[in-house]
Structures are given as C-alpha cells and as structure tokens.
Structure 1
Amino acid sequence: MRRALAATVAGMLLTGMLLSGCGVPTESGPRPLEPSVHVANPDTPTADTSLPPGAAVEKLYLVRGNQLVGVERRVDRPPTLERQLADLLAGPTEREQDGGYGSALAGTDFILGAQLESGTAVVTVGGTTIRNDEVLAYGQVVCTLAARDDVDRVRFVQDGQPLEVPRADGSLTSDPLTSADYVTLMAVR
C-alpha cells in the first residue's frame, strides 16, 4: 500500500512539474480570447449569406520594411473588389501597425476606383503619384487584387487611357500586371 501511495504521489509531483514548466501560465478562471481582425460592411450586399460571421478571408498586401507582405483578415463575407481596395487604401489596422506593417499608399488619394472586366481588374488612377515608394504602392494594389479568385491581372488607366506603372525591376509598362511582376518585392514566409 505504501508503494502504491508513493508511486501516486511521485506521479502527481512529476505531472505538476511538467505542467508548470510548459510555459502556460495558470489562471483562476476562464478569460476571453481576443478575436481576429474583423472588418464588416453592412452596406455591401453579398451573394452568399450562409457564411458564419468572420468565415471569409480578405487578403491584403501591406509593406514591412521594403517588402510586400500578404496579411489575411477575417471578414463576414467575401469582399467585393471595391471593398477590398477600400480596405487596402485605409491601411493597416492598429494591431497590424504594432506588428510593423505599413502602407506605401498612406496619404495618397490617387486611386479613384476599380471594376472587373473579364478577369482583369481595371484600376482608375487620378492625379500624380510621384513618390519614392511608388513601386511598393503599385505592388500593393496589384498583389492584393490578384490574390482574388476572380482577378487574373490588373491594369491601370488614367483619363480612360492605359497608364504606365513601374514593375519591381523599375521598368514601366501599360500592360496588365500580375503578382509575378512584383515577386522580388514579396517577403518570403
């Protein structure tokens, strides 16, 4: 009987030592968990209302250092092209900023809108966009929109005419772009 009691006590002590060393702090009761980033737009109609809240993923490309980084946000429904572009232009959330993310689009208002034409997102640009980080700004737009299932490529227009924009290598093109044009700027995860 003593041996059984000693083995039980030794087992309890060993379990206690293992649990206390696992790095998980003990708490006196349950605590609420902080939810994922949540973006909701009740004004935007959706084709699929069967999704539970936060069930869709919105992928945006933000800037960290001098690289483009894909960030996923949980949203109520798959965003429209316009909603996703508006979220990109709004910049990183406070939490994303705390994580070191920024935007080359901050403080700009050169994007007037976008529409989808047979798999090509046509982005209308107004005014001038002369900035040191212009390549990152265009890369953010192209990579964000190209991450959508319904977008194969992105084209920029100004005053109804094709606009030449920089690729990652510094060359200018008015041809439709894909994420591959900015792959050298993308952070490797």
Structure 2
Amino acid sequence: MMTRIGRLAVGLATCLLGAACGLPAEDEPRQADLPRRPLTSPTATAAGIEPPGDVVEVLCLVRDARLVQAVRRVGASPTVQRQLESLAAGPTEAERANGLTTALATTSVRVDVPAGSTQARVEVAKTDEGNARSDEMMAYGQIVCTLTSRVDVNSVVFTRDGKVLQVPRGDGSLSRGPLGAGDYASLIAPA
C-alpha cells in the first residue's frame, strides 16, 4: 500500500511541477521575438549614444586586480583581430565609470587563427626593456580570456618574430602555451 501511495505522490508532484511554470502547453514550438537592446546600458560617445548592436563581443578587462568580462553589443561579429583591437583600446567611458581598467595600455599585438585551427597565434611586438610592466601576467590573461571567449578559439600561443614566447600564467609560472582561460582562473573575479 505504501508503494502505491508513494508512486501516487510522485506522480502528483510531477504534474504540479509541470503546471507550476505558468505557461500553457502548446502543440508546436513558436518563434520567440526577443527585444534588441544592449545587455548593459548604452555607452556615451562624443557623438552621443551608440545604438545597440545585434552581436555580443566579450572583452576581459581588469577591476581590483581581477579579470572581469565586459559584454558589449556590436553591429556585426568581430574578427579575431578586431576583438583584440577593441581589447587593446581599453574600457569605454561607461566601463571606466564602473571601475574597469586594462593592463594593455599602448600594447601592439596581431593575431592569426590558421584555417582549420582553433588556436590563436598572437604576435607581440618587442617592448623596450626599460618599460617592462609589473602587470604583464594580467595583460596576457586579458588576451587569453578575451580570445577564448569566442567559439572559434580554444587556446592561445604568444609569439615574437614567429618564435613561441614563454609568458606568465595566473599562478606566476612561465608557459609556452597553448594557454586557455583555465590558466588564469586564479585571476578571474567570481561571477
């Protein structure tokens, strides 16, 4: 008798949970029309307010010595190089007002993803040894986390003059790559 009552209770709970969502059942799926608006408030520019875009661009910026994803709406899917250029340009005025900064100031980089590959090769320009930065680990983390946020990039290797560089990972160790966001997990701010 307990078994039958138990099954009845489970069946009743399942029915109640299914009906609890508040939406009536439909025979066929229907198209959902989502509003076209930015995920965050629009950013101000010198010309006024930028119109919201249709595509999301993720950039990893810095807040309180931690990597933070900033989501921007853009008009079209950015190329890998364009997304890296957006990152190198730094935070928008609105992002700076929210405490976001960058460790990539005046950094010149080129990126290539060979056809059929998901590994980005980032060519880093030679820097003046007298201008070495103490936040180099954060800068590499920004690039890796930004590029691997794309569906077409799984890992990143850094090069100079075509030779693979050793770069700092989030734990301070040096690596020739390939690197992924997990290599900088200790620097990523909790969601």
Give the match's secondary structure for 1:84.
helix
- Look up the match of 2:70: 71
**Higher gyration radius (CA):** 1
Is 1:115 paired with 2:115?
no
- Look up the match of 1:42: none
1:134 to 124, 133, 136: 136
Once residues 166 and 127 of structure 2 are traced to their aligned partners in structure 1, the CA distance between those partners, rounded to angstroms, is: 12
Give the match's secondary structure for 1:154.
strand
Deviation at 1:78, TM superposition (A): 1.1
Q: How does 1:2-41 map onto structure 2 within 5 Å?
A: 36-37=42-43
Once residues 35 and 136 of structure 1 are traced to their aligned partners in structure 2, the CA distance between those partners, rounded to angstroms, is: 26
Once residues 121 and 107 of structure 2 are traced to their aligned partners in structure 1, the CA distance between those partners, rounded to angstroms, is: 18
1:23-47 deviations in Å (ceiling 9; x for gaps): xxxxxxxxxxx952499xxxxxxxx
Deviation at 1:106, TM superposition (A): 1.3
Once residues 126 and 114 of structure 1 are traced to their aligned partners in structure 2, the CA distance between those partners, rounded to angstroms, is: 11
Is 1:61 paired with 2:60?
yes
Number of residue pairs matched by the alignment: 142
Once residues 56 and 189 of structure 2 are traced to their aligned partners in structure 1, the CA distance between those partners, rounded to angstroms, is: 20
- Look up the match of 1:158: 160
Once residues 70 and 139 of structure 1 are traced to their aligned partners in structure 2, the CA distance between those partners, rounded to angstroms, is: 12
Deviation at 1:126, TM superposition (A): 1.4
Kept in 2: contact 1:38–1:73 (CA 8 A): no
Once residues 127 and 173 of structure 1 are traced to their aligned partners in structure 2, the CA distance between those partners, rounded to angstroms, is: 18
Kept in 2: contact 1:62–1:140 (CA 8 A): yes
Is 1:168 paired with 2:170?
yes
1:59-96 deviations in Å (ceiling 9; x for gaps): 00000010000010001111110110000000000000
- Look up the match of 2:3: none
4+ aligned runs moved over 2 Å, structure 1: 34-39
Kept in 1: contact 2:42–2:52 (CA 8 A): no
Once residues 38 and 85 of structure 1 are traced to their aligned partners in structure 2, the CA distance between those partners, rounded to angstroms, is: 21
TM-score by length of 2: 0.70
Once residues 138 and 175 of structure 1 are traced to their aligned partners in structure 2, the CA distance between those partners, rounded to angstroms, is: 11
The unaligned stretches of length 5 or more in structure 1 are 1-33, 40-51
Once residues 79 and 108 of structure 1 are traced to their aligned partners in structure 2, the CA distance between those partners, rounded to angstroms, is: 19
Kept in 2: contact 1:37–1:73 (CA 8 A): no
Deviation at 1:135, TM superposition (A): 0.4
Once residues 55 and 37 of structure 1 are traced to their aligned partners in structure 2, the CA distance between those partners, rounded to angstroms, is: 15
Structure 2 residue identity aligned to 1:85: L
1:150-176 deviations in Å (ceiling 9; x for gaps): 001001011110011000011111121
